[in-house]
Homo-oligomer: A and B are copies of this chain.
Amino acid sequence: MLDDRKLAVLRAIVEDYVSTEEPVGSKALVDRHQLGVSPATVRNDMAALEEEGFIAQPHTSAGRIPTDKGYRLFVDRLTTLQPLSPPERRAISTFLEGAVDLDDVVRRSVRILAQLTRQVAIVQYPSLIRSTVRHVELVTLSPTRLLLVLITSSGRVEQRVIETQLPVGEGIVSDLRSRLNSATLGQRLPDAANRLGDIVDTFPIADRPVVSVVVTTLVEAVSDERSDERVAVGGTANLMRFGDDFDTSIRPVLEALEEHVVLLRLLGEATSPRALTVRIGHEVPYDELSTTSVIAAAYGMDESLATLGVVGPTRMDYPGTMAAVRAVARYVSRTLSTS
């Protein structure tokens, strides 16, 4: 049904359409590719491919363009990922190494990804449910104000200011500080939250109100680690290359990019590292974005797993983009694990 030549024709159609952005006809095909057959033969193959739903024509008697199903076949069976060029790899590597902290890694990742793919890049902040407590610090700012700082193994710092009803003595503070640390140090965040429950009872009744509010705040900070619900976006200017159809293709994307919840759904659940997810057209979980494709990859080690990717028109350079996304995911993983 789909012999080798038909597949070759499909590949040629996808490649030409991606580069020219215009429906491709039988004659143009044989001119640009060495198919070894005549346009008429290609036309027959095209008719078959259209019959199967892999390509379509915008109007009668225009060239063909790939359908979502066609892209899907292309990606699944006709694509071989080539590694990036050494200069590109080096660029990613050195650019990411310049990062000073976690935020900076994310920002730089977005930037390099957008630049490499010339698409809109999205990077989810590393999930921290699997990260551990590195340090808890409790500082007296004033007699009735405490500052609580939580530092996690992923390098993230959370800080809360706590107002207390009554002045707090320095003795309690240092006592509390050491107990908080010994209870949570090295624990994963959810475990740490559980461990904190019992601490309050170990203090004299008189101190419990203060201790209680501190512990509650810490538990909150530990569980409220919703950093994995944050995303960074970049390369919006690349939207311009989408085409000229303003309202139907660009507006919804721009709107989606503002809604981080939407972006998170677009990226999808982080699966195992190195896995590459490609969603094409209607496979994307938003109807408004049915003319776009999303290519995402999980990154990070088991300690901090998250997703990054790009979103672009269904008419995109899949092999190149996939290779770039995969490469960036790998380098980001490496950067995170060595910092």
Q: Which residues of A are in contact with B by a Cβ distance under 8 Å?
A: 100-101, 134-135, 137, 139, 141, 147, 149, 151, 155, 157-161, 234-237, 239-240, 244, 246-247, 250-251, 254-255, 257-258, 339
Beyond A240-B251, A257-B236, whether A151 also contacts B155 by CB under 8 A is no
The 8 Å CB contact of A240, one of B134, B139, B254, is B254
Alpha-carbon gap, A141 to B153, bound state (A): 10
Chain B nearest CB from A107 CB (Å) reads: 9
> A155-B159, A155-B161, A236-B236 given. 10 additional CB < 8 A pairs?
A101-B159, A134-B141, A135-B139, A135-B147, A137-B137, A147-B151, A149-B149, A237-B257, A240-B254, A244-B246
Q: A149-B157, A151-B139 are in contact. Are A240 and B236 (CB under 8 A)?
A: no
A236 close to B258 (CB less than 8 A): yes
In the assembled complex, the CB of A257 is this many whole angstroms from the nearest CB of chain B, namely 7
A-B contact pairs, 28 of them (CB 8 A): A100-B160, A101-B158, A101-B159, A134-B147, A135-B139, A135-B141, A135-B147, A137-B137, A137-B149, A139-B151, A147-B151, A149-B149, A149-B151, A149-B157, A151-B159, A157-B157, A157-B159, A161-B339, A235-B258, A236-B254, A236-B257, A237-B254, A237-B258, A239-B254, A240-B246, A240-B250, A244-B246, A246-B246
Nearest CB in chain B to that of A252: its residue = B237
Residues on the B chain within 8 Å of A159, using CB: 101, 151, 155, 157
A90 to B134, CA, bound (A): 40
Instruction: Work out how many copies of this chain go into the complex.
Output: 2
Residues of B within 8 A of A236 (CB): 236, 254, 257-258
A250 and B246 alpha carbons, distance in the complex (Å): 11
Task: Look across to chain B and name the residue whose beta carbon is closest to the beta carbon of A241.
Answer: B251
Report B-chain residues with C-beta under 8 Å of the C-beta of A141.
134-135
Task: Pick the residue among B137, B239, B257, B258 that contacts A139 (CB under 8 A).
Answer: B137
A155 contacts across to B, CB distance below 8 A: 159, 161
Give bound CA distance, A210 to B161, whole Å: 31
Cα distance, A235 to B101, chains bound together (Å)? 27
Closest to A156 in B: B159
A237 to B246, CA, bound (A): 12
Residues of B within 8 A of A100 (CB): 160
Contacts of A151 on B, CB cut-off 8 Å?
139, 147, 149, 159
Bound CA span A154–B80, Å: 51
A-B pairs with lowest CB-CB distance, top 8: A237-B254, A237-B255, A135-B139, A157-B157, A240-B251, A157-B159, A137-B137, A236-B254
Q: Determine the residue in chain B with the shortest Cβ distance to A255.
A: B237
Nearest B residue to A135 via CB reads B139
Q: Which B residues touch A239, using CB under 8 A? A: 254
Residue of B nearest to A140 (CB): B135
In the bound complex, residues from chain B placing their C-beta under 8 Å from that of A258 are 234-237
